[in-house]
Structure 1
Amino acid sequence: MAVTVRVDVYSFGIFLLELICCRKRFEAEAEDDTQMILADWAYDCYEDRKLYVLMENDVEAMSDMKRVEK
C-alpha cells in the first residue's frame, strides 16, 4: 500500500511526542496501563489539563507551560 500524507503527519506527530516526553511510543513497563501508549496517554493528559505529568523530567518545559500547551 502507498504511504499517504496522513500517515506522514501521524508519524511526525508521534516522533515529536517521543522527543518531548523522552519516551517511546509504546512502553510495556509503564507504571499504569493507561500510560502504555504514548499518544493515548498524552491526549488523556491534555483533556484533563495535566500536561505537567508528561513534562515532569523537563525543567525547561515546566517553566513555560503555556508554550507546551500550545
Structure 2
Amino acid sequence: MLELPQVWLDAFKPAYDALAGQVKLLLTTYFEGVTPNLDTIIALPVQGLHVDLIHGKDKCSGTASTSAGRLAAFPQA
C-alpha cells in the first residue's frame, strides 16, 4: 500500500476537479488494493476505476459496492 501524507491525499480532489470535464479520466491501480485510500478515490470525479485484482485482490474490500455507476475493469489471472 502506498501511504501518503494527508496533505497529499487532500490535494488529489482539487487537481482532479481541475481536469474534470476536459477529458474522461480512468484511475488505475497496480500491485496493491485501494481500501486504505478508498474514501479519497471515490470522491474523485473519474469515469472509471481499474483495480488490480491479481496482486491486490485481498485488499480491495468494498471497492465494487462504493463505486456504483462507474466503469470497473477486473483482469483475470
Structure 2 length as normaliser, TM-score? 0.27
Answer with 1 or 2: which has the greater Rg: 1
The structure richer in strand per residue is 2
Which of the two has greater helix per residue? 1
Could you say which structure has the greater relative contact order, defined with CA pairs below 8 angstroms and 6 or more residues apart? 2
